[in-house]
Structure 1
């Protein structure tokens, strides 16, 4: 970059230009660069752009930087450096898209499409130009330039109908913008397209309209270019006289306004002179015009081709052949240069695409690695969280299980305490019973359904030959002679359904005794024995009076509760242990197991499993003892234990009300 302190004076800015700040200096120099590009002063335009960029420096805003890039692209395009221009236009497109400037983006797409058309990428050019057109239509400000460029692409693709349609739209757009110069260019393009299709008459119509347009715009230089087209159309029709008229009119305008004849007009004038029979004048004109043009230009090649025809018409075949060879060589060089530019552009595109692909692959790999790292981190955190949740859940489960076990232990201890209280209550009842029996003068003892002595007063102990001070820990049958034990067992078994029985038996030493058996008035299946010696008859125990209706109903409920409790006890035992009711009778030692027809049976317990078979004087204490045994020995869930306990409590309701405990 040049020195910003002196470059503004070196490029020859007019006096009074605003250079007060770097930003204003850059904007002012940029405006002069646009004028130089429009005027064809390309070297000076490049110097002004360099000075503008250096003067703005870091103070340049985004808009100024964008304009500098775009104008460098325009300069390269005007210099026929199409690949460089395309690179600048694409850079400007990225900048305008980043700034979300849709108008600038549409304009840059138009420039990109124009450069791609010059490079031979017609499909890419059409795609860019169509996108630009769509954006402009969306904003309601369609420019004629993009339509004109689209028409040029269709013309290159040899689709004249599409080209003419877009040229017409471009002409309408330029006229709507009152842009006569660009409208004249479109008319010239339409005339060239008509000449290429062999329609010289229509070409003349377009050219006359273009001539009128340029006259209205006051652009005499473009008028000379239109005269070249009119001469070409006239010569295409074979109208040499009309071509001569157009030539004279062009000479008049050039002389009047002191304008140099363009190469296209020189070519048509020389062609008309050759067709008029003046090949020498044509040769001289063509030599002078070709010498003024640089080597390798398209217009110079056209002049050389026409020069060879003029030399041939003049009879100088050797010179014509040499000139034709020169034109072919220059055309070959031009074509090779164009191909080199295209190959260079394609190579640059390929290298850029490969670089972008490599960058994209690296970015994709980096994203993949970041994603894997992120996924691994998430997995580790999720694993850690899962472990913590599992540990917390396990801790809560263990805590709940411990609390549940502790609650079960508390409940079990409470049940054991209650069982102990029940046992203590029974022992206290037995003590009270013993004291009550001792207060009587007659011999009385209390046995259970199995014949086990539960209590006996002193008189009964003396008759039975028992030590009054020793505790009762034997069966009544042990005090009897062997012959009377079976009779005692049969009598006790019948007592479950009888009100009173009488039994004569002998003591083990042969002393004759007599007993009156009656159910205990408190129930529970216990039996009261009134003993007497010899043949004296013991006083009979009177049976209880008939109970009241309400008491009978309560007793019926009590009997049903006993049967339901016993059924629940047996069911719980079988489900918990997998063994039957005989094992319950044997292990609990509450119910007697007998042999009946060669089979073991617990006949006494089986009577408590049916309400119809339940004894008249049920042994409810044995039922409760069986329930307590199962509660204490069997493993069961809390709900089952609670259900069985409710049945025990239901059976106890009646016994407590009747003071049976």
Structure 2
């Protein structure tokens, strides 16, 4: 028979085995993927109650639970859990554990909408690894950084981060990872409203998902592709891909995704004026929303219901549900949907001639938009500050490591080296201060000379422009109705008779263009106008004007009056001959000077600004830019770039003004500036000799 002491020891050992068995079983259920996230969370929490030692295994459990809380949306529990992990020293953890902790914190703050803080932790995680050693981790964290930048609307930084991730994934041959990053790049270009680029990235991602037989991811990418078609008003194409994605999620019983797709389908049908189909989708969406309870999708549901009711002619009902949506979106701090709801309220009020209500909603929209702008500004400030603090921390760590190395290397003969370093530092400081003062004095002289030169060129540019007082003296008191257009196609002068005819005031001609005066139905006139050719007393009978009931006869001619202008005369029978500048100089020499100056001015502009001659014409306002076959052209300027195409009576003032404009507005090299000044001086001297200035 067994003794009582032996039996007692046996039962104690047996109880230990029984108590440890659930721990071993639950460890597998906690750390690995489980279809039931709530059960997985309970298993992890139970493990933490049993295992209270600060081991690496315990840390991994806490890290997994942090990810589960974040995924579930239990952000408060996630922060409490992180607070319980602060006693772990970074030195006792592996680099991978440190990396995963920083990345998980970044994901937590991202889910909470704190994107600048999220970006800070993603960057901390990236600083813990090396791109050439930990390639897979580097690709993953760069994708996270790109996602944070995308949420902050910093699209160029997002594209840069995603491309870094894509490069590594292509090297590793991770087809699924490549598809994910392609999908993310598509989202960036979609936010930038660059539809062709976004569509290309989404389609490439869809093709890979289809090859890998990943229908869930393919459905998400098709949904993104549909958003492009919806924004581009390709409603049939959008409807096709949305329906495909909806059928997949409906089959998988994914109610959240199904609700999202139903809202997109209803929005597409409302935009396409197919109200019956939109109502069917919204009825399905309401049924799912009742099951899921209030969420961000509830706001979008109210928005689409309000738009549908408004389209059906039910003003009061539309207004009521849209206002309910505004209240709900404000409670959820959903500024995007708040602005969309206000916009829908404005459209609803205007549609039913409720202009007072529309004005009130417009004021509320403006207030909300301003608040959103301030919020974005504050977020930008937080981002900058967080980045600065991160850089400071990084620099402090680097400096600390360097100081430790220096201390180890300077233990021997420290006093002598300290004295030597002090002398070197003193000499360096004196030299630096002297150099800074010398540079400051030199920079001040250069800046003074540069401002003097720029101001002179600007004065020459303005001096050679049209003098409005001279135009008033020449045409202001004529009984003939006249107006004058400059090279930028803007009205720069209108006399009293024309003001009376067109029923406008002189003070209102600012920013007035020909599109505001002459109707598009006058095709003969507009065809010649858009071709960019010069007018020579061209007569157009019975031209229809926007402010005049009956047709008016119109004569158009191009005049050289300080610069080339276009004169419009209404009810004109005989027009006086306008005075053209004639040249008594040698035409060949004069023309060659003009072409040379124009070519070197254009080359200097392109070299300094990295832009083309169209940008020069638009920025200076000297040369006319026209549209031909859907392309911008500078026909007038182009004639001055070759001697054989130069007009017989060239606009020499425009050429000189162009040179002065380039010298005034561009930062040129000394060699380029000297060459341009020499050409300009030679032409000016020749013109003065011929008494043309």
TM-score by length of 1: 0.49
Q: Kindly name which structure, 1 or 2, has the bigger radius of gyration based on alpha carbons.
A: 1
